[in-house]
Amino acid sequence: MTDDYSALDSLTASDRSFAVYRRPGLEPELMLQFDGLPETFETLTELNGRSGFVMAPFQSTENHPVVLIRPDQIFTGKPQVLNHLQSLTSTQPLHSDQAETKTSTDEGYAVYKGAFDLFQKALHAGSCEKIVLSRTLQLPLPKDFSGMSAATAACFTFIACRVPAMAPPSSSISAA
């Protein structure tokens, strides 16, 4: 059996809420909610004994609620998760055809130099004592790249860590 998690991309594009996760030292799990949107709450106390996969911001608000994905079906263990994902392969994973942007080395250096020059001016003026600068480089992704596959592979690889990968339908969560 190959480690093909690409069916998660199709799930991400669907109206089904799901979470793939591994609690430290335990087997990975795939939790599916079959219908409806995840429940949202303004506080953790509103969960009131409900179970499922909970996503909670540090400070929940109406625009950033606590989200609960109901556990309608759970697959536990890598073989069971992969078998279920392989059963979904009739739906091809969705990939963006849009080309990713690439910052040239010269452009990246110019942006970095501009930020560094601003820091130098602020430092000499005494308005700050230190700053952390970092560089970025955007590379094009291969057409067959799967973000969900990468996240799920991390979930199965780092067995001592809690690594979640989840996706509620995009219409279920309001953005600020």
In this prediction, residue 10 has a pLDDT band, given cuts at 50, 70 and 90, of: confident
- pLDDT tens column, 72-122: 999 999 889 888 887 876 544 433 343 344 445 566 677 777 777 877 787
pLDDT(38) > 60: yes
- C-alpha 15/C-alpha 18 separation (Å) is 10
Task: For the chain, give every domain's residue range.
Answer: 7-97+144-172, 101-139
- pLDDT tens column, 65-74: 999 999 999 9
Helix (H, G, I), strand (E, B) or coil at 175: coil
Task: Note the pLDDT of residue 134.
Answer: 61
Q: What is the mean pLDDT of the chain?
A: 74
- C-alpha 5/C-alpha 123 separation (Å) is 49
pTM for the complete prediction?
Answer: 0.57
The phi, psi pair for 159, rounded to 5°, reads: -70, -20
Q: Cα 148 to the chain's mean position, in Å?
A: 8
